[in-house]
Structure 1
Amino acid sequence: MKITYLCCSRFYGGVEKIVIDSLNELCKSEQVALIVPDRCEFLQRLDARVQIYEYKSRDKRYNLFLFVEIYRFLRSGGFEILHSHGAKAAQIGFVVEKFLNLKLVATKHNDRKAPVFDRVRNVIAASRKVATTINHAAKVIYFGIEPRLEFANHEILARCKDAEGAANEALKETKDARDGSAGTAGVSQDTPGVAFASQDMPGRAGVSQDRALDADASQNKTSSVLVLQQGANAAAENFKFSIVAVGRLDKIKGFDLLIRAASELKFDFELKIYGQGGERQNLQNLIDSLNLQDRVRLCGFCDDVAAVLSTSHLHVISSRKEGFPVILIEGIFYSPVLISTRVGGIPEILDEEFLYNVENLSDKIYEIYTEYEKFVGDFCKKHVGFRDILRLQNYITFLKKYYEELD
Structure 2
Amino acid sequence: MKIIQFMASSGYGGAEMVMVELANKLSARHDVFAIILADSVYRDKFDEKVTIVPLTSHPTINNPLLHYEIYRIVKDIGPDLVHTHAVKGSILISRINRFCKIPHLGTKHNDRKGKIFNRLQWVSAVSAKVKASITNSCGLVEVITNGIEPLPLAPAPRPDTFTILSVGRLDRIKGFAELITQAGLLNFDFSLKIAGTGGEHDKLKTLVKSLRLESKVEFLGHREDIDRQMAAAHLVVIASHKEGGPKTAIECLFYGNCLLSTPVGLIPEILPGEMVTSHDALAAKITEIYRNYPLFEHRFDEIKKKHRQRFLLGGVVTEYESYYRKILSQAG
TM-score strictly above 0.5: yes
Q: Does 1:143 align with 2:146?
A: yes
Other structure's SS at 1:260 match: helix
Shift in Å, 1:345: 2.5
Letter in 1 for 2:64: L
Aligned to 1:244: 165
Aligned to 1:335: 256
Report the Cα distance in structure 1 between the residues aligned to 2:148 and 2:23, rounded to whole angstroms. Answer: 13
Query: TM-score, structure 2 length as denominator?
Result: 0.95
Report the Cα distance in structure 1 between the residues aligned to 2:92 and 2:161, rounded to whole angstroms. Answer: 49
Contact conserved, 1:144 with 1:391, CA < 8 A, in 2? yes
Contact conserved, 2:270 with 2:303, CA < 8 A, in 1? no
Letter in 1 for 2:153: E
Contact conserved, 1:337 with 1:375, CA < 8 A, in 2? yes
Aligned to 2:241: 320
Aligned to 2:288: 367
Matches within 5 A, 1:96-175: 96-134=96-134, 135-136=136-137, 137-150=140-153, 156=155
Shift in Å, 1:351: 2.2
Letter in 2 for 1:325: P
Report the Cα distance in structure 1 between the residues aligned to 2:303 and 2:25, rounded to whole angstroms. Answer: 29
Shift in Å, 1:371: 1.2
Matches within 5 A, 1:55-74: 55-74=55-74
Report the Cα distance in structure 2 between the residues aligned to 1:98 and 1:278, rounded to whole angstroms. Answer: 36
Q: Among the aligned pairs, what percent are the same residue? A: 37
Aligned to 1:160: none
Contact conserved, 1:351 with 1:383, CA < 8 A, in 2? no
Aligned to 1:47: 47
Contact conserved, 2:153 with 2:228, CA < 8 A, in 1? no
Aligned to 1:309: 230
Contact conserved, 1:314 with 1:335, CA < 8 A, in 2? yes
Deviations 1:197-216 (A, max 9, x none): xxxxxxxxxxxxxxxxxxxx
Letter in 1 for 2:34: L
Aligned to 1:382: 303
Aligned to 1:24: 24
Deviations 1:71-93 (A, max 9, x none): 11111111111111010001001
Matches within 5 A, 1:255-294: 255-294=176-215
Report the Cα distance in structure 1 between the residues aligned to 2:28 and 2:67, rounded to whole angstroms. Answer: 29
Other structure's SS at 2:305 match: coil
Letter in 1 for 2:46: L
Letter in 2 for 1:333: F
Letter in 2 for 1:283: L
Letter in 1 for 2:214: Q
Report the Cα distance in structure 2 between the residues aligned to 1:9 and 1:301, rounded to whole angstroms. Answer: 18
- Unpaired runs of 5+ in structure 2? none
Aligned to 1:182: none
Shift in Å, 1:97: 1.3
Shift in Å, 1:312: 0.6
Report the Cα distance in structure 2 between the residues aligned to 1:8 and 1:378, rounded to whole angstroms. Answer: 40
Larger radius of gyration: 1
Contact conserved, 1:80 with 1:101, CA < 8 A, in 2? no
Aligned to 2:13: 13
Report the Cα distance in structure 2 between the residues aligned to 1:345 and 1:149, rounded to whole angstroms. Answer: 25
Report the Cα distance in structure 2 between the residues aligned to 1:101 and 1:108, rounded to whole angstroms. Answer: 21
Aligned to 1:77: 77
Contact conserved, 2:176 with 2:240, CA < 8 A, in 1? yes
Query: TM-score, structure 1 length as denominator?
Result: 0.78
Pairs aligned (count): 325
Contact conserved, 1:350 with 1:383, CA < 8 A, in 2? no
Shift in Å, 1:15: 0.5
Shift in Å, 1:16: 0.8
Aligned to 2:322: 401
Report the Cα distance in structure 1 between the residues aligned to 2:304 and 2:48, rounded to whole angstroms. Answer: 35
Matches within 5 A, 1:171-190: none
- Unpaired runs of 5+ in structure 1? 157-226, 234-238
Report the Cα distance in structure 2 between the residues aligned to 1:390 and 1:344, rounded to whole angstroms. Answer: 14
